[in-house]
Amino acid sequence: MNANHHESSDLSRTRITLRGPAELADALPFVLGFHPTDSVVLVALHGEHGRFGGRVRLGIPRSPREWTSTADHLAECLVEGGERSGTRPDGIVVFLCQDPAPGENGRRVMERLRPFAQRLRTACGTLDIPVYEALCISDGLFFSYCCPDARCCPPDGTPLALSGTSVMAATAAYAGVQVRGTLRDMERRFQPSGGPAEEEQRAALDASAAAIVPRILEDAEGDGRAEVRETTLRLARAVLRRFADRTGEAKPTAEAGPTGPSSGRTGGSTAPRSGRGSFAGTAASDAADDALVETGEAAALILGLQDRATRDRAAEWMEGWEGKAALRLWRVLARRCVAPYQEHAAAPLTLAGWTAWSTGDEPTARVALGLALDIDPEYVFARLLHQACNEGLDPESLRSCLRTERDSRIASNEAVSGTSPRVRTRVARPQSSRQPLRKPGRQTGGAERRSSAGVRPGGPAAGKPGSGSPRRGGQRGSRSGR
């Protein structure tokens, strides 16, 4: 197999030569930022040396009847994404990652998924893109669907390298890049944990839905809707301060109201990558955050964020101490969306994805946005952000759009109140090597179609409190305006 060179911003543009399927299999968690579980991953290769480029990941469909359409869709997404950025792939590497089911071993998983691997190779070939390698990773082993040499890739599989012993692991450690555990671990941080506390949270959501949803459903200029918006943002700002106080984050000494400008803005187009090394993905840290938000507060915030204008205002907390605290808050709210309110998690999940992407945490962003789309495939904000993140665009264009909207709103409020506008200085931002986010950013910065239909009245509040029944996420009518 040809040598492949992996050059990415995550590794400070360090070039790493990967020789053979073993080093490719070892590199996958560092390419994604986590260990994929039950996933099909396609990675684009560019140039003579096979430089890694864009990548797409999806859960492996359970039904083989879906494999052909899934293979076609993934190949088209990867190739079209590269063409939009002006870098059509010259080749593709395919990874199928799945743990054995009870009674299975790694080789049986590999053989069961072989038809899917072949469909992926065919789909890429139809687009005139060769698949240089297709690997199955299961049960601590890797298997090659392409390499015929049993000395290199024996039919019973080859053990993966011990953690931290490969060239890729050493280079990543030197660059401060950290693998975040498994995909399931990352997803679990955004999902309800179960237990007796869920009943109390469900009751609080019932009460808040009955009180808040009718007011949100007023026309766009209704006083009730505007009052809910300001109350929601004021409460969210108070919770952000609690998070910052607990960790000792520096906060600005003066602010212009609940959504005023923050002196915590970062000076570059993306947040420092060094923050990834301090990733605290533990149950203890999440439990401590949960303890800072009461059930009634969480319910009011979850229901309030179903209004698009409120959600877009909350997206302005994207940098500095606000961004760090906001990501923790959105995680808490996503975990509080207990049955039958699972669908309401699309808003906090999308905000978590946006905040993570804005602060330089792309693996968390992809996971959060993927979960949001699992809940509501038609959630426009999540779809645009997910596409832009996967295509490697720069979030600075959207950040700039949100700053402009915030500053214009504050100036307008000051003009109405008769106060003199504050003088604001901006730090010069270095040019990023990434492609600017243009059209998607402009659409997601609050310019989506706004109407009362954009409010999510699902759950028990649609009838009387407590009358709803759990529903599976995503199984409902289209809300393309989201």
Q: What is the tens place of the pLDDT at every residue in 85-97?
A: 788 999 999 999 9
User: Among 293-307, 391-405, 422-436, where is mean pLDDT lowest?
Assistant: 422-436
The pLDDT score that the predictor gives to residue 328 is: 96
If one compares 295 and 418, the residue with the highest pLDDT of the two is: 295
Give the per-residue pLDDT at 436: 52
- Name 93's bridge partners: 43, 133
| Helix/strand/coil (H/E/C) assignment for every residue in the chain | CCCEEECCHHHCCCCEEECHHHHHHHHHHHHHCCECCCEEEEEEEECCCCEEEEEEEEECCCCHHHHHHHHHHHHHHHHHHHHHCCCCCCEEEEEEECCCCCCCCHHHHHHHHHHHHHHHHHHHHHCCCCEEEEEEEECCEEEECCCCCCCCCCCCCEECCCCCCCHHHHHHHHHCCCCCCEHHHHHHCCCCCCCCHHHHHHHHHHHHHHHHHHHHCCCCCCHHHHHHHHHHHHHHHHHHHHHHHHHCCCCCCCCCCCCCCCCCCCCCCCCCHHHHHHCCCCHHHHHHHHHCCCHHHHHHHHHHCCCHHHHHHHCCCCCHHHHHHHHHHHHHHHHCCCCCCHHHHHHHHHHHHHHHHHCCCHHHHHHHHHHHHHHCCCCHHHHHHHHHHHCCCECHHHHHHHHHHHHHHHHHHHHHHCCCCCCCCCCCCCCCCCCECCHHHHHHCCCCCCCHHHCCCCCHHHCCCCCCCCCCCCCCCCCCCC
30 CB neighbour count, 10 Å cutoff:
23
Of the pLDDT bands very low, low, confident and very high (cuts 50, 70, 90), residue 467 is: very low
pLDDT of 455 reads 43
Q: Between 23 and 373, where is the model more confident? A: 373
Among 79-83, 165-169, 216-220, 375-379, the range scoring the smallest mean pLDDT is 165-169
Higher pLDDT, 227 or 252: 227
pLDDT value at residue 163 = 61
More confident residue, 115 or 172: 115
Least confident of 183-187, 278-282, 359-363, 395-399: 278-282
Residue 406 pLDDT level (bands cut at 50, 70, 90)? very high
Q: What is the pLDDT of residue 53?
A: 85
Confidence class for position 305, pLDDT limits 50, 70, 90: very high
The region that residue 157 occupies, defined by phi over 0 for left and psi between -120 and 50 for alpha, beta otherwise, is left
For 21-30, 36-45, 333-342, 393-402, which range has the lowest pLDDT when averaged over its residues?
21-30
Question: Any idea which of 76-85, 236-245, 251-260 has the lowest mean pLDDT?
Answer: 251-260
Mean pLDDT, the chain, as a whole number? 78
pLDDT at 166: 61
Give whole-number Cα distances, 257 to 212, 262, 319, in Å: 22, 10, 17
